[in-house]
Chains A and B, each alone.
Chain A
Amino acid sequence: MILEFLKMNGYGIYIWLSYGFVFLSCSIVYFKVLRTLKKYENAYKNELMKLDAKDRDKIAKNSKVARYVLSSLKETV
């Protein structure tokens, strides 16, 4: 029964090739975008952590993004 399903009445190769291509290309794009996001998120966190506490608080007070990134850092710590 599984073999029948995979064969798809003789069209299996075309169907699985299409779905395989879509799955692979979408997965590659997703993981590439995720990796870039994490890379910049960490780089920004590190830049913030390099600042002294006074400057960091000042930036956190003025920037919602910095505040959010710092709060997520506290959660992970």
Chain B
Amino acid sequence: MFKFFSPSKLFKIIDWIINSIQSTFFLFLITGLTFALVISPPDYLQSESVRIMYVHVPAAWLSLSIFSVMTILSLLNYIFKIKNFKIFNKCLAPIGLLFSATAVITGSIWGKPTWGAWWVWDARLTSMIFLMLLYLIFIITLKFIKKDNLALMIISILSLIGVVNLFIIKYSVEWWNTLHQPASITLKGDISVHSSMLIPLFIMLIVFIVYSALIFLMKYKTEIIKMKKKNLNRL
């Protein structure tokens, strides 16, 4: 099954997907922004500032999801030694860093009109900063540690620490008294957001997912070409 994921086999499909996304992305973006900034109503309590949610929440969701995927890939790579999974992680980590930074910074901007402070060291915010740091260490490890086994071990350990942190991020608003509000949408399916806000939120989530796919595939294509170029130099 893993042979299906061989870079050479995927190259043509990747190129086709990149071109398709590049030609349609603006359509997704304009639709998302129209819903987020124009169509969706202001909140009865937070007024217009609630519109920050449409970039803050998808970024936070994606930063958590990407780390979960990276953890699974790291552990599979540690067990089965599949080099392609290391490349997947190398391409995913910068996207995760971008979205975790986006979640932290937009959250901080949202905090000022809502809480009256740009930053508080509460559990949710601190654990998100820690996730950002983990992404950063991940990237540094993959870039600068040339010994494969050592890099693999460090990444696996980081992944395990990261999984604990993911649970802390998820449940921090329930375990401790935090300024951050509890989840409005839970994994069990409890939703306390009105559909007029839920639809723009999911449209913006799709925009973020499509953007992530584009960056991931472009980075993966670069890695394939790098590998092929290295092989060519060996001849």
Which A residues are within 8 Å of any B CB, using their own CB? Answer: 5, 8-12, 14-15, 17-19, 21-22, 25-26, 29-30, 33-34, 36-37, 40-41, 43-44, 47-48, 55, 59, 63-66, 68-69
Contacts and interface: CB of A to CB of B under 8 A. Distances in A.
Interface in B199-225: 211, 214-215, 218-219, 221-222, 224-225
Given A11-B51, A40-B222, A40-B225, 7 more contacts: A9-B47, A14-B52, A29-B98, A29-B215, A37-B225, A40-B226, A47-B229
B232 interface: yes
The 6 closest A-B pairs by CB, nearest first: A8-B48, A11-B49, A18-B106, A11-B48, A9-B48, A64-B8
Among B49, B59, B224, residue most surrounded by chain A Cβ atoms (within 10 Å): B49
A43 to B, nearest CB: 6
Contact of A64 (B9, B52, B112): B9
Interface string B103-137: 00110011011000000000000000000000000
A15 B232 contact: no
Interface of B: 7-9, 11-12, 15, 33, 37-38, 42, 47-49, 51-52, 55-56, 59, 94-95, 98, 101-102, 105-106, 109-110, 112-113, 211, 214-215, 218-219, 221-222, 224-226, 228-229, 232-233, 235
A68 B9 CA distance: 11
Contact of B224 (A11, A18, A36, A65): A65
Main secondary structure on chain B at its contact with chain A? Answer: helix
Nearest to A46: B229
Nearest to B215: A33
Contact of B11 (A37, A47, A64): A64
